[in-house]
Amino acid sequence: MRVHGTAHSRPLEVFLAVEKLALKPLPGEPFEPTTWFRAKVGDDCHVYVACGGYSISYQYRGKVLDVWVTDTLVQGFLDHEMVKTHRRVGKGQRATDWNDYPPEKGTFFSRTPDWCQAKAAQMGEAPPL
Mean local confidence (pLDDT), 49-53: 96
Distance CA 84, CA 82 (A): 6
* Residue at 23 is within a domain: no
Domain count for the chain: 1
Structural domain boundaries enclosing 80 = 35-109
* Residue at 116 is within a domain: no
* Residue at 4 is within a domain: no
pLDDT > 90? residue 67: yes
Mean local confidence (pLDDT), 53-72: 97
Mean local confidence (pLDDT), 103-107: 73
* Residue at 102 is within a domain: yes
* Residue at 10 is within a domain: no
* Residue at 21 is within a domain: no
pLDDT > 90? residue 88: yes
Give 106's pLDDT tier (boundaries 50, 70, 90).
low
b/e per residue 74-99 (b: at least 16 CB within 10 A): bbbebeeeebbebebbeeeeebbeee
**Which of 107, 111, 127 has its CA nearest to residue 119?**
111
> pTM above 0.75?
no
pLDDT > 90? residue 49: yes
pLDDT > 80? residue 104: no
Mean local confidence (pLDDT), 25-40: 93
pLDDT > 90? residue 60: yes
Mean local confidence (pLDDT), 47-63: 97
pLDDT > 90? residue 38: yes
pLDDT of residue 112: 82
Count the helices and strands in the chain (H runs, E runs): 4, 7
